[in-house]
Structure 1
Amino acid sequence: MAPDSEAYVLVLYYSRTGATARMATELARGVESSGITARLRTVPSVSPDTEASQPQVPSEGAPYCTLDDLRNCSGLLMGSPTRFGNMASPLRYLLDQTSDLWLEGSLTGKPAGLFTATGSLHGGQETTLTSMMLPLLHHGMLITGIPYSEAALMRTQTGGTPYGASHWAKGHGNQLSDDEINLCRALGTRVGQLAQTLKPAPK
């Protein structure tokens, strides 16, 4: 984990079965290959009632994201499984709490990329990716996708879109294809490089 004073790209995700978490790990590898730290963070499930139903600290995996994790990042990679062509509600719940960051302009001018996983080939990957772009555009973030100079984007038989990284679970569950791994790492590297190029000048 990066010290508070160290620049980092936040890899923020929600994962229910583990596929999106596996993608987050590959994206983080791409980020770190660019020479900047990746900070992995997740979000708790949304409770169906008004009582807290999740522990304050997850029993395994990445820690829960705080608003300061978002506020202080140099770039963002955000991922969610598809829910009827949209992001999952736990991730949206966190974004709905970011009004102060919007008022401060904390995310303005910072690069962002998206990733998702679906159980079916035409399960709404691209609409989910674009749904996650909308609040980030309102925050003034600079959205980057995956360029077609990445050869895996043309040959993939599973996930992978120009809008962001994706995974088609079908019968493979959490097992990513080689092309999906390559595209995750490519997007991570791209956001990591942009975070370093676009970092604000010292005041």
Structure 2
Amino acid sequence: MSAPYVLVLYYSRHGATAEMARQIARGVEQAGLEARLRTVPAVSAECETVAPAIPEHGAIYATLDDLKHCSGLALGSPTRFGNMAAPLKYFLDGTSGLWLTGELVGKPAGVFTSTSSLHGGQETTLLSMLLPLLHHGMLLLGLPYSQNALLETRGGGTPYGPSHHAGADGKRALDEHEISLCRALGQRLAETAKRLENNRG
């Protein structure tokens, strides 16, 4: 059996969601657990998967085994009309085998998103990503208001999960509060996963 890890699974078009994923991974590692960064390939309405078999740069593509064996999950997507992006939804639609066997039941999970506009559907996107996780029986973690950055942020940040305001051109860097909230989610996932693993042992 492999060492416990938190899977940080995301889709990113212009890099903002990928940077959030890296910050969440840092939070996981700061809490003493391995973070496994994985992405999903792009899709199109004409031919479904349109990406190369191996990404040219960044995280490698996720497999169902990455999901099956994780001790916790952080799921991230840019916002598409107040919903998760199609590539991530496409990957999740292929997880019914894990649902049938209950592989994810009782594992902690959280979500994160990035939008080009400040009020571009961050909260609805986060909520849409929580729905399949509920069906898998995962334990959902958000961000409590004991996180000062949640009260002070002028960019992204919600109790449902970290968010980022990337700007109209998608190039606005994560600010200090957004980084803090990403790391806080990673830490919460890792700490919860470790407690649950210890109780199972």
TM range (shorter): over 0.9
From 155, 163, 166, the equivalent of 1:166 is 163
- Percent identity for Structure 1 against Structure 2: 63
The one-letter code sitting in structure 1 at the alignment partner of 2:37 is: L
Count matched residues: 199
**Aligned 8 A contact 2:110 2:161 in 1:** yes
Match of 1:19 in 2: 16
Give the deviation of 1:49 after TM superposition. Answer: 2.2
Q: Which runs of 5+ in 2 are unaligned?
A: none
Match of 2:133 in 1: 136
Q: 1:87-166 counterparts in 2 under 5 A?
A: 87-166=84-163
- 1:106–1:81 CA distance, 2 compared to 1 (3 A): same
1:63 and 2:60 matched: yes
Cα distance in 2 for partners of 1:98, 1:53 equals 20
CA-to-aligned-CA distance 1:132-158 (integer Å, 9 cap, x gap):
000000000000000000001001000
Q: TM-score, normalised by structure 1?
A: 0.95
CA-to-aligned-CA distance 1:120-174 (integer Å, 9 cap, x gap):
1110000000000000000000000000000010010000000000000126725
Cα distance in 1 for partners of 2:172, 2:22 equals 12
**Aligned 8 A contact 1:22 1:174 in 2:** no
- 1:176–1:197 CA distance, 2 compared to 1 (3 A): same
From 73, 78, 101, the equivalent of 2:75 is 78
- 1:179–1:55 CA distance, 2 compared to 1 (3 A): same
Q: Which runs of 5+ in 1 are unaligned?
A: none
Q: Which has the higher strand share?
A: 2
Give the deviation of 1:54 after TM superposition. Answer: 1.7
1:184 and 2:182 matched: yes
From 14, 28, 41, the equivalent of 1:31 is 28
Match of 1:201 in 2: 200
Cα distance in 1 for partners of 2:109, 2:195 equals 13
The one-letter code sitting in structure 1 at the alignment partner of 2:192 is: L
Cα distance in 1 for partners of 2:84, 2:140 equals 16
Structure 1 residue runs of 4+, over 4 Å off?
Answer: none
Cα distance in 2 for partners of 1:144, 1:179 equals 18
Q: Please state whether the residue corresponding to 1:191 is helix, strand or coil.
A: helix
RMSD: 1.3
